[in-house]
Chain A
């Protein structure tokens, strides 16, 4: 991506974006939960159908060191557990959440302006990497300037794409709280990370907790709570078509894996291959990025 400076933001000259209409297969079904779901999206990066289930990690633009650290850690752990982290590419918590997610897996940035606008420009690296490993999403046409009014409106998309919303730090009238409220409106689970009571950016999250948001101290809290929901979303995923030149052994292994995380021994019996042939096929698929090994010896398909 080549960039030009324009209206105080960065303007990607040659971004490879596509339009996804509401009727298209790629249009995320979860977005239709919104009363005012966007008619079309501009998307850059991977096919939205191939992304793992999403969790939003959002928060203040002015976090403390604690907030930054927690946002990065939670996002990394989520991504490592095959969850895609969604956020808004803003300064502060959003940026740290994207950064953490990119360390271990995928992330989606929902932009407040046009798909070609990297705002703030300091997050250019995240903008580029999200387009490579995950996706950039915008609901306004390319070229639309970023405006503050658009921020809260955009937040409803962040909430709708996700099975849960995690607020890391937020002051009393933070935009992150609007993401949480949008989420509540359409039945998303809301989590809040407790903070230092002396700090201003804790007020919003503590208010959420008082209202009954779930306490989040690690990615495990989220995963444990939304496991069935994640599984449901994951099972509805579709994968990239199998190329014709793929060996029959590899195709058999992919067929045996299906859409779930399965153990190696299940693949041996499911694919009907000898252990030696299965090992070679699995290893090839792993190095070419079709499958990934998780904790234990569970294998899942990634594209």
Chain B
């Protein structure tokens, strides 16, 4: 009996775990079995591996072949083990040197003609391989750039199984992966394109500066979507660590474009209202996948017509909004995905969209109206510090030739306000005003006596609720940070009071 070992990586959640692929070839009736908690997709590997080996001018042994994936308790899925199994079989037959194989981590799906196809989660796998002390990682050429983002491990890109065999025999060298730096993509969604809506643009700037969630309410055609799309642009650029996190999520979700390097732009995700629960927060039946909330990690999750989303979907966002991560538990597996996103929700004021409109009459029945506003209320709206109404544009605003302030200069102010917050909030272990928990508000915000009086006065005159007060305090703090003030002034509170939609009724 001949035995060989190859190494690969299984990705669970966002983390890679080393997997040993053992191949034993024994005398007996020809058979090919995979054991060690493989799922249905790995059972399919057998057919691909057999065809790919034959296509690479190698002989398939007509013997009893057993493949064991260990550790056996770890659930393994996907086609990424194809390359490791094929090379393991060839090593067991002595076609490639076992010692050479053991130095490498192997990743890749095989096509029937032997070519090596790109797989998901390469970034996470490469990180795990580097941590496990592997010298190099052998993987599909299409994934080479992604793996190069990880330092400390050599990347060996291959296009065909036969090429991998020749390389392992020392018969050829592999081309290094094409170098790719983070490319500067010009931002085509500039804030200067938004005409009018000064109040809403200021709200966007405050939201960006303090990390606040934002609710845009208004009739169709007010430019809610246009405005929301411009939020990622005015946020501070991703740090390298953040960019790696984001890239890792996209890598696991299989959404990284081919040859793409690091994702350097903050994500903007705008799922449709019909998105399923698993699509929104992540999940899946046999294999977990990150949802829109995680794909928006370190970026913006935009929910247009937010009241039309399924109720359980809206509810399910509560955890992510508080924790910045989501744990998905199914019978057979459980994973945790990060999802520290900024929420921008847009709603019509009522189902027909015209309540509060100055020109058109709303035709909704009172009962439906109440049910509509009910949908968003509660857990999610509580987490939204800034609420603003956007009117339909007047003709003058639509044709106004004057462009607004460009994204770049707004971003500069946002970056400065963030720095100011980071310094002040360092002691509390948080970075933005939006995260200040109510017990620390007084201490962390530094209100002037005038500002405090202003808040008390607004409690009396508009029946601001306790939650409303907390929201106003956080927003006022950000307004002061944008103005470069150490303590919150009266006018900062007055400005914060503009950005709420609860009239006297709440």
A binding-site residues for B, Cβ under 8 Å: 80, 104, 218-221, 223-224, 227, 262-266, 268-269, 275-276, 278-280, 282-284, 286-287, 289, 292-298
The 4 closest A-B pairs by CB, nearest first: A220-B366, A283-B494, A297-B389, A296-B356
Binds A, one of B117-125, B235-243, B457-465: B457-465
List of A residues within 8 angstroms of B454 by Cβ: 283, 287
Pairwise interchain contact B505-A218, C-beta atoms closer than 8 A: no
List of A residues within 8 angstroms of B391 by Cβ: 263, 265-266
Pairwise interchain contact A265-B197, C-beta atoms closer than 8 A: yes
Other-chain contact of A293, B394, B462, B490, B491 (Cβ < 8 Å): B462
Binds A, one of B105-113, B130-138, B198-206, B225-233: B198-206
Q: State the Cβ distance, B377 to closest chain A Cβ, in Å.
A: 13
List of B residues within 8 angstroms of A282 by Cβ: 494, 497-498
**Per-residue A-contact encoding for B481-497, CB less than 8 Å = 1, 0 else:** 00000000011011101
Given known pairs A224-B366, A265-B389, the reply for A276 and B491 (CB within 8 Å) is: yes
Other-chain contact of B349, A224, A227, A296 (Cβ < 8 Å): A296
Q: List 8 A-B contacts (CB under 8 A).
A: A224-B366, A263-B389, A268-B198, A276-B491, A282-B497, A292-B462, A296-B217, A297-B501
B440 within 8 A of A: no
Pairwise interchain contact A295-B199, C-beta atoms closer than 8 A: no
CA distance in complex: A166, B390 (Å): 35
> Known contacts A220-B369, A265-B389; can you find 13 more A-B pairs with CB under 8 A?
A80-B504, A223-B366, A224-B366, A263-B356, A263-B391, A275-B495, A282-B498, A283-B458, A289-B461, A293-B462, A295-B503, A297-B389, A297-B501
Q: State the Cβ distance, B459 to closest chain A Cβ, in Å.
A: 10
Given known pairs A266-B358, A295-B356, the reply for A280 and B491 (CB within 8 Å) is: yes
**Per-residue A-contact encoding for B372-388, CB less than 8 Å = 1, 0 else:** 00000000000000001
Pairwise interchain contact B366-A298, C-beta atoms closer than 8 A: no
List of A residues within 8 angstroms of B367 by Cβ: 218, 220
Q: State the Cβ distance, B479 to closest chain A Cβ, in Å.
A: 9
Other-chain contact of A263, B358, B361, B460, B495 (Cβ < 8 Å): B358
B42 within 8 A of A: no
List of A residues within 8 angstroms of B349 by Cβ: 296
Residues 226-265 (chain B) with a chain A CB within 8 angstroms: none
B355 within 8 A of A: yes
List of B residues within 8 angstroms of A293 by Cβ: 462, 503-504
List of A residues within 8 angstroms of B390 by Cβ: 265
CA distance in complex: A287, B198 (Å): 24
**Per-residue A-contact encoding for B338-358, CB less than 8 Å = 1, 0 else:** 000000000001000001101
List of A residues within 8 angstroms of B394 by Cβ: 269
CA distance in complex: A114, B314 (Å): 58
List of B residues within 8 angstroms of A224 by Cβ: 365-366
Interface centre among A80, A275, A292 (most CB of B within 10 A): A275
Pairwise interchain contact A264-B491, C-beta atoms closer than 8 A: no
Pairwise interchain contact A279-B498, C-beta atoms closer than 8 A: yes
Among residues of A, the one whose C-beta sits closest to the C-beta of B496 is A279
Q: State the Cβ distance, A261 to closest chain B Cβ, in Å.
A: 8
Q: State the Cβ distance, A298 to closest chain B Cβ, in Å.
A: 6
List of A residues within 8 angstroms of B495 by Cβ: 275-276, 279-280
CA distance in complex: A260, B251 (Å): 54
CA distance in complex: A220, B362 (Å): 12
Other-chain contact of A264, B361, B369, B389, B493 (Cβ < 8 Å): B389
CA distance in complex: A295, B217 (Å): 11
CA distance in complex: A70, B191 (Å): 50
CA distance in complex: A294, B389 (Å): 12
Among residues of A, the one whose C-beta sits closest to the C-beta of B217 is A296
Among residues of B, the one whose C-beta sits closest to the C-beta of A278 is B498
CA distance in complex: A283, B356 (Å): 21
Interface centre among B358, B454, B461 (most CB of A within 10 A): B461
List of A residues within 8 angstroms of B457 by Cβ: 287
